């Protein structure tokens, strides 16, 4: 299959590209910047342009069978600072992409939404896909808006979209500047002997999924015929304090923590029900939290040696 990954030089995207190549697919990457942790791959076609550039998109979409959309110019912690930019870059950019997809007559479309933000503070756990959508940050609102537009394009133009509501991915090649990705941030700061700031008392619970497991689900979702919305997580919740303890055990040193005031847009608890993804894509996570943190720590140490 001929596949394009928008955001293919990013954290999740680079792991998806690895799996697509392993399966023998022809891969293009559309991204605004090179991959930060690796040199360009020999057997990949690269398109470097800003997301939302209709002319670059039109060229990149020629003779493509499947489109993966993994681009986000914001994270939950920054989206509320400038909701207009969030809308312009992510929502408007995605609609421009959808218009070009219709012109290119591409049907299969996989979108990475957000299982951590679209539901808001949950009424029940684990969270199923039919849980009410009540986001408390712009990031979640924009993700929902994109999901709704995918439904419109499915109805009007025969698009075959599948939406993956990803939880909190972690693993090798994740940025560690403290904006997103608490596990990689903790490990990187431990290596550099600097403290890590966390918001609140460490009791917030998240569903962490190792990046290769999420990439494998992306792969399976693209190759299947199903449409609709699917949660994409581990199905297990861990508090930040649980993460701190596990990191301390693996590294042999407890992270230095600076506790900051809790933030209003942080959901208190997220644990996703992943039974639909398991059923329809014959998939399940393989890497548990302890193994995943160990692998991430090993990669961070190796990367810092170079």
Residues annotated catalytic, as ranges: 139
3-state secondary structure 149-178: HHHHHHHHHCCEEEEEEECEEECCCCCCCC
Other CB atoms closer than 10 Å to residue 52's CB: what's the count?
20
Round to whole Å and give the CA distance between 170 and 305: 21
**Cβ contacts of 163 within 8 Å, gap of 6 or more:** 111, 113, 147, 150, 228, 229, 230
Rg, the chain, Cα only: 19
Contact (Cβ atoms closer than 8 angstroms) between residue 113 and residue 233: no
Tokens for 40, please give them: 């360009």
Round to whole Å and give the CA distance between 168 and 183: 10
Tokens for 82, please give them: 């400038």
Tokens for 170, please give them: 């972690």
3-state secondary structure 195-238: CEEEECCCCCEEEEEEHHHHHHHHHHHHHCCCCEEEEECCCCEE
Strand partners of residue 136:
none
Cα separations in angstroms, 3 against 31, 58, 172, 262: 14, 14, 23, 41
């Amino acid at each position: 299959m001929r596949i394009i990954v928008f955001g293919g030089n990013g954290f999740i995207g680079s792991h998806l590209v690895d799996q697509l190549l392993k399966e023998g697919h022809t891969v293009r990457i559309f991204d605004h910047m090179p991959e930060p942790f690796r040199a360009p791959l020999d057997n990949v076609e690269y398109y470097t342009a800003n997301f939302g550039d209709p002319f670059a998109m039109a060229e990149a979409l020629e003779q493509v069978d499947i489109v993966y959309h993994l681009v986000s110019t914001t994270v939950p912690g920054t989206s509320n600072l400038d909701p207009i930019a969030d809308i312009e870059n992510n929502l408007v950019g995605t609609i421009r992409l959808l218009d070009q997809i219709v012109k290119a007559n591409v049907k299969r479309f996989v979108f990475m939404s957000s299982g951590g933000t679209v539901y808001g503070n949950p009424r029940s756990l684990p969270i199923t896909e039919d849980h009410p959508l009540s986001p408390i940050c712009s990031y979640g609102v924009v993700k929902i808006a994109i999901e709704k537009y995918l439904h419109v394009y499915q109805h009007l133009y025969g698009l075959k979209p599948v939406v993956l509501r990803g939880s909190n991915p972690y693993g090798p090649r994740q940025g560690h500047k403290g904006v997103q990705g608490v596990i990689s941030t903790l490990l990187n700061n431990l290596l550099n002997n600097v403290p890590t700031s966390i918001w609140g008392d460490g009791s917030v619970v998240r569903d962490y999924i190792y990046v290769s497991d999420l990439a494998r689900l992306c792969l399976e979702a693209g190759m299947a015929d199903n449409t609709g919305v699917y949660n994409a997580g581990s199905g297990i919740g861990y508090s930040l304090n649980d993460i701190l303890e596990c990191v301390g055990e693996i590294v042999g040193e407890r992270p230095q923590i600076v506790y900051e005031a809790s933030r209003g847009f942080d959901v208190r608890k997220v644990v996703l029900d992943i039974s639909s993804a398991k059923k329809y894509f014959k998939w399940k996570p393989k890497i548990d939290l302890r193994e995943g943190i160990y692998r991430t720590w090993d990669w961070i140490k190796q990367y810092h040696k170079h």
